[in-house]
Each structure stands twice: as structure tokens, then as C-alpha cells.
Chains A and B, each alone.
Chain A
């Protein structure tokens, strides 16, 4: 199916292609021919297709045809015709395999080669001397080639750039890097045509814009869309067993799921977290009486192990695979006929993309089962299913291009050859993510690249790039280019950190005795999780309750904790926040009494109880409950804004409650709400006008409070460090030196951050770091919208005991990170303790 009226005929295909299709019992699909027609007319195009629609072949067909028409590759000087860029190295391998077949079967004179970080230097050198017709590569390799002095010669022959998995690449720093590279390639190869391949997205126009240079006259790439074929068959697992109040395991359903696995050919089970994947896998094997071949696939596993599973999957040797999001991207594998979502998929796009893994034939419905792990997730699964069936997609916030990436690019361009600032500015702003960069900001970035861009202009004589008499910017010396090459890339650190167990011997004074470090490795956890931890916080990992002691290099040191339940957060790796759309639908279902009868009995009963005991908030309302429990006083706010936003909100509310003398002790955030607990009775404070909810949730918390918290936070320092490394302020790899350890880099960037913040708070790198923090790590936008929306719509319910709706989040206390007081207060507390410690010494 096509979105456009004119349908090109197969006449655009040369005979041998027509014969090849016929020989395989295929006929060219409409979208393949459409893409062909756009390519031949020199129009950039975006292909949006569900999995299994033959996206890759469609993307390459115009290239194969052109190269076949060109005749036998007459010389090695023809240069590369098509660049294929994918976010995953594995995808390049997969695509090479898929291309081999038509090329071999039609006897086409086409040479295909891959180029990744793993490609041996000798082959990379040869590729420059004798470029393949089709080069399969990654954004980082493209960036490196752009900074190569032979960039002009390498790129001038390129006719087509195919960007795969554009939906995944678009809103990331790697996407920024690639967008800038595309703009550069267009300057070097003015005739180049882009083809983007993407899964279904909510806003195709953002990707269409991404693919074009608007200066060429077309603001958007042509859109070729394949409708999803048959509507997916998504069901929600029903259980007679008691649905848990909280938790994400879904263990109660595995017996029934095991029966489904037996009934189907190959089942793919998606879990949202590694822990959940591990748990599901173990549980399935416990009940695996038929010893079915069931495998596990997630990011913490060794790469070789993962490749083995993928291969076995491709060959149809597995009955089921339990996987995390590592399998979300488009790697092709066998004949999956059932997808099981353990827990809520959290978003409509994810649900559809995962469900699309089942059944690669478009005309048959993909079959999926969602397994809600708790009563709240029942509603969430209903909401996600409704959104998916309505064809809704998660809205990805279009991300403005990061300035640190721009800095790396500007230096790369200079390494490739002299540049004119005016021309480069025009080129950079032709890339969608950088369209709104103003000239002053661009000049700041160029100045940063040259000398650091400081108001105190004392580094002129050390400038890395200089404007020469002809008005062009050039690198000052070859070492600059060499060191740039060693530091290209926007992926800064291992996404996971090793967790080491340190023995905690406690001395009488309460300090941990030395000698406990360098312990055995328990496993690996995501760095972003560690970022949210302060030393002393406890978390659950590898079946143990651990206390976070320190982050040294890339190792997390933790000791066994004797901490009691309320102070024990859990580690929930790889958890994604609920999308805005599904959150809105959840709110809608809760509010719409007429939809309740479709919910399972247990969930219905629970909502009914909430209605009697407290209140069912209307969609526009912010319900705030206060109640005492177990000697503490709770305040629960139902924002439905997702975990990240609620965590940030929790940090800010805690600060404010501290100032209001409510003596907050900590808080916990879920996708739906956040719960703060305090020593003082907040119901009484509100009743006595000592605490105003309107003031508490006033938008002004996003001003000074946010800034004060953020500027001092470890999160900000780490964000700054990443920006400093990407922008080239700090070099990861130093010429002639051994790789620096993370620790050394961390140390110096903290000192640099402090000095820079004091002297030039508006420095371009600090701007870059703040933008990153606001966007990715604290979900500021959702808080801004929510605070504006709830103004005047706050409903306070003082209760004598915990409300039914609050139960799930309160059960998370004990599993989720517990945040304490602000950094300031923490330092003060520590200092007081230090005094006590000092007094106790003699």
C-alpha cells in the first residue's frame, strides 16, 4: 500500500531484476518501486515500514539497479556509490548477508564491504585506496572519514546514502553526528540522494526533515509508507490467580505462558529489565519439563553468547528466547509466531515494534500476549493496547542538536580540509537538529574549538584551528588532527559498570574499616542507575541487599547491607518511563467509570475502593493525598508523568518541604506518582495553613531550586564530563600515552567544572551540559507542562490511612531508590559527623 497516488510500474526495473524477482516467486512490491522512482528522480525519501516488509532490499534496490546498469566495475577509481549507515555493527553484518544473495544470484559486478571499529587498519587503508561500491558502516566511521584529508575524493563519488533504523538514531547524539556528516557529504557530493529506513513513528515529518537539505528546495523527504498489513492480535493475559499489588515479575502467569510456548513454533518473550529477563528465564526452566530449547538474550551477556543465540534463532533451533530491548532493533531472525510482553511495554510504539517481530508475512496478523505483572499494569496494558490498535505512536521529542557534538564536528571538518566559517554555518544549519542554531552560538563553538572560547583570550597562540589570510580556518598542526582522530565518537562510557562486593567491617565509631575494597565482581549495572545513587544508598542486586560505597574508575563498590526494608531501594535495570500518550490513556481509563467493567475483577474492585476511601482524580486534576503510616507522614501526588519526571519532582519537593520545616525523610517515584514521607504531619500543616500545596507545586520551583540542585549534583558533573569529552576539552585518548583511567578524568573534570562555573557560567560547554541534563536525565519538559496544567486543579485529600491507589507506590518503598535530603544538607550532616568523629578519636 502506498500513500501516494502515482504507482510506478515494474518497468523501472531492468530485465535481470524482473527475472530474479520472478525466479523467486516474488514480484516487486509497490514501495520498492516507489522508492526506486524517487531515487531515479534524485529525490530524498523516507521509507516507513513495519518489520518484515523488506525494508533493506527496498533501500538498496536503486543502488543495485544503477550499479548493474553501469556495467562491470571498469576500474578501482569509480569510488563508493552508496553508503549504508546503521547504528549497530551487527546490523551491517546482517545487511551484507542479505545483499550477497541478489548480487550473487544476478551475477552483479558489485563489491560490498563493511567498515566498523573492528575493521583491521590494513583493510581500512585499502578501502580508502580502492573503495567498494557499497560501504556498510556506522556514524562514527563516517565522521572519521569526513575528517580524513582524502574526504573530498572519498565522498565525491557517492550517489546515495542509506540510513537504517533512523527512528532509533534520530533523537540521539549519534544522530546529531550523522546529521552533520550528511550535510558535509552533500557539500562534497552535491548530487547525493538520501534514503531513510524507519519503523513506524508518530511524527514522520521530523524524520523527513532530517533527511533533506532544505536549501535544495524541498523541506521534507518523500514519504513512502507501508501500512501495517493485518491488525495485530494483541491479548492481555487473564488470570484467576491473585494479581500482585506491585512488582514487575509476572511470575504468576508463567505456567500458562509455558503452555503457549509449547503450542507455538517460536516464541519471543520481551522483558523490560534484565532482572526481569533473568527471573523469567529461570522460572521457565524450572517448569520446563519437556526441556524445550529456551534461551536468554540481554545486554549484560557476553557478545559471543549473544551471537550464538541469534544464530540459533535464525536457524529455527530455538523454541523460545527471553530478551530485553537489545533485540528491539531490526536484526532479522527466524520464524517467530508469538511475542509475549512480560509486564507493560510502557509505550504504543514499543508494543507494536515488538509485536511486529512475530510473523514476517505482512498479510497475517502478528500475535502477542501482554502479561500484566500487577493490578496497575492491567490498566497500563489496556491503555497500551488501545493506543496501539488506534495506530498511535509514542511521540519522540525532537531533540535540538548538541553543541558538544557540533564542536567535535567542526574540528573534524577542519581536519578534512580548510573551511570557510560562513559556508560551514550554512551547511551546519541545513542539518535538521541544528536548524535553529544562531550565528553567535555557532561562532562560540568555533571559538571553543580554536582556543576554548574563553572571555579571557589567553590561548590564542595555542589555537587548534586558525583563520588564515585567505579567510579559511585550518588546523594548526598535524597533531591536532591525530588527536581528534583518536577521540572521535559520541558514546562516552561503557553503559554498564562492574559491581564489586566490599566487605563491611564496622568499627565502633560506625566507619567502615579499610581493606574492604577490590572485592569480587557481582555483575554489571547501568551507569545511569549508579548516577542516581549517593554513597550510603542501598539497592538490591544479584539477590542481595547492597550499600553503595563508592564509584572508582568504572567499578561500583558496594557492601552487604543490614539495612531495614524502608531504606532498601532495588536495582531495576533498563527500565523505561511510561510514555505521555499511554499515561494519558491510563488516566482516561481510571476516570472513565464506563470502561471499568472491561477491567478484571481485582482491578475493578481496587478502583472502586479508591473511589470510596479517597477520590478518583479527573484527567486534568492533580490528586494529592496525605496520610500517616508506620510512624511517618506521607504525601502522595498522582502526576502520571513517568518515572524520570517524578524523580526530579521528588528532589525539588523534598527541598521545598525541608524549607517548610516538614522534615522530609525521603521519597520514592513511580511512573504514576511520587510519595514523600516526612516527620511532621503534613495533613495538619496544610489544614493549619503552614503548608500550601499551591505554593509547593508552584512553577517557580523550576527556577532557583532546580538550578541549585542541579548545579551541585553529581549528575550535572557527569553530564559536563561527557560534554567536555565529546567536545574535545578533555581527551579520552592521548597520543603516545596509555589510556587514562576514568577516575583521572572524573577528578579533573570536576575541578574544571567548578572553576568554569565560577568564572564563565554561560560558557558554551556549560550550556551544552545543562541542555543534556534537562532533556535526558530529568525530563524537565514533562514537569513544566504538568505544573502549568495542574495550576488551580489541585485536589487535596487528607486521609487517616493509606489509600488503595497509593499501595503500589508504597510497596515500591523498599524496592526503589530512596532519596534523601539535598546535597547541602548532606554536606552539613557529614561535617557534623566529622566533628563527632574527630571528638571521638582521642
Chain B
């Protein structure tokens, strides 16, 4: 396996899932060239303002940061459709708290393409007045897109929810990065949101999804994604 190229020139498939070739972008998104779909998970927009409402005034730039990264991907891939795999907002009240400039940024991203909000546990209802189409799941050829990975084998599933991160030791140095977790049959996408934390792929939560250590973590680097066999990964 070789590292993928950075998003600008990226179009060569990196990951094959249920026969579908996907480009894993180092920013943490999947691109499916066949349908022209750009897939991101767990944007957790307005997480900052969610905490602010409860008295913790986190810097209010997370939504702009997340959308800015998404804009870079849209510019690079020019996707026909953008699919957000749920938990697009940190809570139901998120869309209402959104800054006008951020709403405009979403509208700009949606211009000329389809946009699908898949429901997540944080945002079961589709965001109001924010364009796009709401779905519980979506079938894309051989692929099934949903928020929460189903327990047991799920060939062709693309899901988010778990915020996978992987940790490796390289020459004795530890590196912890967001990652795609895949066994070739399904993929769990990394969280895309600026304030989204991560769960180590060696956590129990991943155990039911893949059979044992038979999966690969594609860790997000600055210029590419890098594959590691699960057995070489470190727990936190």
C-alpha cells in the first residue's frame, strides 16, 4: 500500500470497500468517484456554542473551521453530492445558534450539488432551513451509508459515530491521529468536526465491528493517509 496524495490532486482510490473504490482524503473524508459523492462524518457543528450555552465559552470558531475544511474538499473534488453521516450538529439546537456567515457558507457549499444530512444520535431531526435532504440511511450502489455502525458484519457499510483514532509508536515516539477503520467490507469514518474528540480503535466499541484484529487503520497525516494493521496499534 502506498500513501494517498493530498486532496488537491487526489482522485486515485485508496480504500476498497465491498468492491467500491474510495479515495480517503487526509482531511478525513471519503470520495466515491463513481457517484461523485463526498462523504464526511460527525461534523459536530456548533459544539462550541453548545458548551457556551452551559457556561463554558469555548472559542466560537469551530463551525467556521469545520466548514472551511469542508470547503477545501468541495473545491478539490467538485462532488456531485455531499453526504454528512450524522451528528452534523452537536445538538438539536445547533442550527438555530448558527452564525449567519456560517449559514451562508453552507448555502454556498450546497450550490449546484445535492446535499444529504443523514440523521445521527446528536441530531435525529434534519437541520431546519439549512437546505439539503434528510435521510436515516442511504444506499449508494453496493454501499450503505448510516450514522451508527451496525453490530456484527455489515458488508458495504460506511458509518461514523465512533470518532476513530489510532495510535502508533514509530521509533519509540507515539503518534495519535484520527483514522479510517476498515476491514475491506465496511468503513468507520473519522470525525470531521474541529472540536470532535476521538476514541481509540482498540477500544471495546470497535470489537464487535471487525473480527478481531482483522482491520486496518488509515491514519490521517498532513499530506496523506497511512495504513497500519490493527495489531500494530497502541491503546491509549
- B57 and A752 contacting across the interface, CB-CB below 8 Å: no
One of B58-66, B109-117, B142-150, B151-159 contacting the partner: B58-66
Asked if B227 is at the interface of the complex by the 8 Å CB criterion, the answer is yes
- B202 and A514 contacting across the interface, CB-CB below 8 Å: yes
Q: A479-B55, A483-B55, A729-B58 are in contact. Are A550 and B236 (CB under 8 A)?
A: yes
Which of A451, A513, A837 is within 8 Å of B228, CB to CB? A837
CB B175 to nearest CB in A, in angstroms, measures 5
One of B82-90, B119-127, B163-171, B203-211 contacting the partner: B163-171
Q: A550-B236, A743-B236 are in contact. Are A511 and B170 (CB under 8 A)?
A: yes
- A831 and B222 contacting across the interface, CB-CB below 8 Å: yes
A755 to B62, CA, bound (A): 7
A480 to B56, CA, bound (A): 10
What is the number of contacts between chain A and chain B, taking CB atoms within 8 Å? 150
Which of B2, B53, B198, B235 is within 8 Å of A517, CB to CB? B235
Asked if B36 is at the interface of the complex by the 8 Å CB criterion, the answer is no
A536 to B171, CA, bound (A): 7
A839 to B224, CA, bound (A): 14
Task: Note all chain A residues with C-beta closer than 8 A to B233.
Answer: 514
A428 to B11, CA, bound (A): 59
Asked if B49 is at the interface of the complex by the 8 Å CB criterion, the answer is yes
Q: Which of B88-112 contact A (CB under 8 A)?
A: 99
- B234 and A830 contacting across the interface, CB-CB below 8 Å: no
A459 to B48, CA, bound (A): 10
Task: Note all chain B residues with C-beta closer than 8 A to A511.
Answer: 168-170, 232
One of A80-88, A261-269, A756-764, A788-796 contacting the partner: A756-764
Task: Note all chain B residues with C-beta closer than 8 A to A755.
Answer: 59, 61-62, 65, 194-195
- B168 and A452 contacting across the interface, CB-CB below 8 Å: no
Asked if A423 is at the interface of the complex by the 8 Å CB criterion, the answer is no
Q: A511-B232, A514-B234 are in contact. Are A456 and B57 (CB under 8 A)?
A: no
Task: Note all chain A residues with C-beta closer than 8 A to B60.
Answer: 452, 454, 456, 458-459
Q: A452-B57, A752-B58 are in contact. Are A827 and B222 (CB under 8 A)?
A: yes
**Complex: chain B residue closest to A449, CB-CB:** B57
Q: A536-B172, A833-B170 are in contact. Are A458 and B57 (CB under 8 A)?
A: no
A835 to B195, CA, bound (A): 28
Which of B3, B65, B171 is within 8 Å of A835, CB to CB? B3
- A535 and B221 contacting across the interface, CB-CB below 8 Å: no
What 1/0 mask marks residues of chain A from 720 to 744 whose CB sits below 8 Å from any chain B CB?
A: 0000000011110000000000011
A483 to B56, CA, bound (A): 10
A549 to B171, CA, bound (A): 11
A509 to B171, CA, bound (A): 10
A731 to B222, CA, bound (A): 31
Task: Note all chain B residues with C-beta closer than 8 A to A459.
Answer: 49, 52, 57, 60
- A833 and B171 contacting across the interface, CB-CB below 8 Å: yes
Asked if A841 is at the interface of the complex by the 8 Å CB criterion, the answer is yes
Asked if A826 is at the interface of the complex by the 8 Å CB criterion, the answer is yes
Q: Which of B24-72 contact A (CB under 8 A)?
A: 49, 52-53, 55-62, 64-65
Asked if A120 is at the interface of the complex by the 8 Å CB criterion, the answer is no
**Complex: chain B residue closest to A476, CB-CB:** B55
- A452 and B58 contacting across the interface, CB-CB below 8 Å: yes
Task: Note all chain B residues with C-beta closer than 8 A to A311.
Answer: none
- A834 and B168 contacting across the interface, CB-CB below 8 Å: yes
CB A820 to nearest CB in B, in angstroms, measures 9
Asked if A695 is at the interface of the complex by the 8 Å CB criterion, the answer is no
Asked if A494 is at the interface of the complex by the 8 Å CB criterion, the answer is no
- A451 and B57 contacting across the interface, CB-CB below 8 Å: yes
What 1/0 mask marks residues of chain A from 494 to 517 whose CB sits below 8 Å from any chain B CB?
A: 000000000000010111111001
CB B101 to nearest CB in A, in angstroms, measures 9
**Complex: chain B residue closest to A538, CB-CB:** B172
Q: A535-B169, A747-B197 are in contact. Are A480 and B236 (CB under 8 A)?
A: no
- B1 and A751 contacting across the interface, CB-CB below 8 Å: no
A729 to B219, CA, bound (A): 30
CB A549 to nearest CB in B, in angstroms, measures 6
Asked if B226 is at the interface of the complex by the 8 Å CB criterion, the answer is yes
A34 to B235, CA, bound (A): 64
Asked if A838 is at the interface of the complex by the 8 Å CB criterion, the answer is yes
- B235 and A841 contacting across the interface, CB-CB below 8 Å: no
Of A453, A744, A838, chain B has the most CB atoms within 10 Å of the CB of: A838
Which of A479, A550, A833 is within 8 Å of B234, CB to CB? A550
Which of A462, A480, A730, A830 is within 8 Å of B175, CB to CB? A830
What 1/0 mask marks residues of chain A from 439 to 455 whose CB sits below 8 Å from any chain B CB?
A: 00000000010011110
Task: Note all chain B residues with C-beta closer than 8 A to A448.
Answer: 57
A744 to B2, CA, bound (A): 33
Task: Note all chain A residues with C-beta closer than 8 A to B141.
Answer: none
Asked if B231 is at the interface of the complex by the 8 Å CB criterion, the answer is yes
What 1/0 mask marks residues of chain A from 805 to 842 whose CB sits below 8 Å from any chain B CB?
A: 00000000000000000000011011101110111011
Q: Which of A672-697 contact B (CB under 8 A)?
A: none
Interface size class of A (residues with CB under 8 A): 35 or more
Task: Note all chain B residues with C-beta closer than 8 A to A830.
Answer: 170-171, 173, 175
Task: Note all chain A residues with C-beta closer than 8 A to B228.
Answer: 834, 837-838, 841
**Complex: chain A residue closest to B165, CB-CB:** A747
**Complex: chain B residue closest to A835, CB-CB:** B3
A743 to B200, CA, bound (A): 12
Task: Note all chain B residues with C-beta closer than 8 A to A826.
Answer: 173
Q: A512-B234, A837-B168, A838-B3 are in contact. Are A758 and B173 (CB under 8 A)?
A: no
- A456 and B2 contacting across the interface, CB-CB below 8 Å: no
Task: Note all chain A residues with C-beta closer than 8 A to B227.
Answer: 838, 841
Task: Note all chain A residues with C-beta closer than 8 A to B53.
Answer: 462
Asked if A141 is at the interface of the complex by the 8 Å CB criterion, the answer is no
Task: Note all chain A residues with C-beta closer than 8 A to B99.
Answer: 456, 458
Of A448, A456, A458, A837, chain B has the most CB atoms within 10 Å of the CB of: A458
**Complex: chain A residue closest to B230, CB-CB:** A514
Q: A458-B49, A831-B221 are in contact. Are A549 and B168 (CB under 8 A)?
A: no
A756 to B229, CA, bound (A): 34
**Complex: chain A residue closest to B236, CB-CB:** A552
A831 to B228, CA, bound (A): 12
CB B90 to nearest CB in A, in angstroms, measures 13
Q: Which of A743-787 contact B (CB under 8 A)?
A: 743-744, 747-748, 751-752, 755-756, 758-760, 763
Q: A507-B232, A509-B232, A514-B231 are in contact. Are A536 and B59 (CB under 8 A)?
A: no
- A837 and B173 contacting across the interface, CB-CB below 8 Å: no
- A535 and B173 contacting across the interface, CB-CB below 8 Å: yes
Task: Note all chain B residues with C-beta closer than 8 A to A550.
Answer: 167, 174, 234, 236
Asked if A534 is at the interface of the complex by the 8 Å CB criterion, the answer is yes
Task: Note all chain A residues with C-beta closer than 8 A to B174.
Answer: 535-536, 549-550
Task: Note all chain B residues with C-beta closer than 8 A to A747.
Answer: 197-198
- A752 and B195 contacting across the interface, CB-CB below 8 Å: yes
CB B196 to nearest CB in A, in angstroms, measures 8
CB A197 to nearest CB in B, in angstroms, measures 39
A514 to B229, CA, bound (A): 12
- A759 and B59 contacting across the interface, CB-CB below 8 Å: yes
A480 to B57, CA, bound (A): 12
Of A512, A552, A834, A842, chain B has the most CB atoms within 10 Å of the CB of: A834
**Complex: chain B residue closest to A748, CB-CB:** B197
A67 to B233, CA, bound (A): 69
Task: Note all chain A residues with C-beta closer than 8 A to B222.
Answer: 827, 831
What 1/0 mask marks residues of chain A from 537 to 575 whose CB sits below 8 Å from any chain B CB?
A: 000000000010110100000000000000000000000
A197 to B221, CA, bound (A): 56
Task: Note all chain A residues with C-beta closer than 8 A to B49.
Answer: 458-459, 462
**Complex: chain A residue closest to B50, CB-CB:** A462
Task: Note all chain A residues with C-beta closer than 8 A to B195.
Answer: 748, 751-752, 755
9 additional A-B residue pairs with CB within 8 Å, beyond A755-B195, A759-B65:
A464-B55, A464-B57, A536-B174, A729-B56, A730-B56, A827-B222, A833-B170, A833-B171, A841-B227
Q: Which 9 A-B residue pairings sit nearest by Cβ, starting from the closest?
A: A452-B57, A536-B172, A535-B174, A833-B170, A759-B61, A834-B226, A536-B173, A756-B59, A459-B52
| 7 residue pairs from A and B, CB less than 8 Å apart | A452-B57, A454-B61, A464-B55, A511-B169, A744-B197, A834-B168, A839-B2
